[in-house]
Amino acid sequence: MTGHQTSDTGARLHQALALGLVGKDTAACELMADTLINSDVHQAYNLCRSIAHAGHTALLILLGEHAPNLSAGDFWMLQPLQPDSDTADPASLFSSRFIVAHCNDDPDAAMALYVALVTSGHETRFQGMSRLFADAVGLLRAAEKHKAAQGQ
């Protein structure tokens, strides 16, 4: 992987997130799908990290001063919205757990989740990464609405 490939992949991710943020979902998903399909496993892991970072940034905006403070010993965690959410589809589980691992600055957990995703097969990898992208876009949209409501 060359530096040029990495910057192209990053630029494509940035463009896909921007398209998703303004509601151009089809174009965003097509661009992200093409980027994922043409990424090797290392590029795909870096894409996951970048997508999770976008989700984390959005969560910080949404939670403001109530966001967990890692330096004070706080941590991010999942709270199921429904009692049976442990049986959620693997893509959703990967997405939420990967974002939480990133938020907690836990690269070991993030890598373990990614390795599990990759070894689950191409289809599962694509679905998990697509779900991660969709969740990040949803969080970014919510953050934008929150900022607008706050007059920022």
- Give how far Cα 30 sits from Cα of 25, 92, 134, 139, 144, Å: 8, 19, 12, 19, 23
User: 129 and 52 in contact (C-beta within 8 Å)?
Assistant: no
Tens-digit pLDDT profile for residues 68-87: 999 999 999 877 655 565 55
Alpha-carbon distance of 110 to 102, in angstroms, equals 7
Tens-digit pLDDT profile for residues 2-44: 444 556 888 999 999 999 999 999 999 999 999 988 888 899 9
Total residues belonging to the chain = 152
Tens-digit pLDDT profile for residues 124-145: 999 999 999 999 999 999 999 9
Provide the pLDDT for residue 2. 43
pTM confidence score: 0.88
3-class DSSP state of 6: helix
